[in-house]
Amino acid sequence: KGRVEVRGFGLTYDTADGATDAVSSVDLTVEPGEFVSIIGPSGCGKSTLLNALAGFLKPTRGVVTVDGEPITGPSADRGMIFQQYSLFPWKTVRENVEFGLKMKGMGRSERSRAARTLLGLAGLTPFENHYPDRLSGGMKQRVGIVRALATGPRILLLDEPFGALDAQTRLIMQQILTNMWQRLKISVLFVTHDLDEAIFLSDRIYVMTARPGEIKAEIAVPLPRP
Q: Which parts of this chain interact with ligand ADP (CB under 6 A)?
A: 13, 15, 20, 22, 40, 42-48, 160, 211
Residue 226 CB, nearest distance to ligand ADP (Å)?
26
Residue 164 CB, nearest distance to ligand ADP (Å)?
10
Judged by beta carbon, residue 18 or residue 126, the one nearer ligand ADP is 18
Residue 56 CB, nearest distance to ligand ADP (Å)?
9
Judged by beta carbon, residue 47 or residue 202, the one nearer ligand ADP is 47
Asked if 19 and 13 count as a contact pair (C-beta separation under 8 A), the reply is yes
The amino acid at 197? E
CA dihedral for 107, 55, 121, 165, sign (positive or negative): negative
Residue 15 CB, nearest distance to ligand ADP (Å)?
5
Judged by beta carbon, residue 55 or residue 119, the one nearer ligand ADP is 55
Q: Pick from 28, 6, 67, 31: which is nearest to 186 by CA? A: 31
Q: Cis link prior to 212 (omega < 30° from 0)?
A: yes
Strand order through the sheet with 204-208: 69-70, 61-66, 4-15, 18-30, 213-220, 204-208, 35-39, 187-192, 155-159, 78-81
Residue 98 CB, nearest distance to ligand ADP (Å)?
27
**Angstrom distance (rounded) from CA 184 to CA 191:** 20
Judged by beta carbon, residue 85 or residue 127, the one nearer ligand ADP is 85
Judged by beta carbon, residue 51 or residue 151, the one nearer ligand ADP is 51
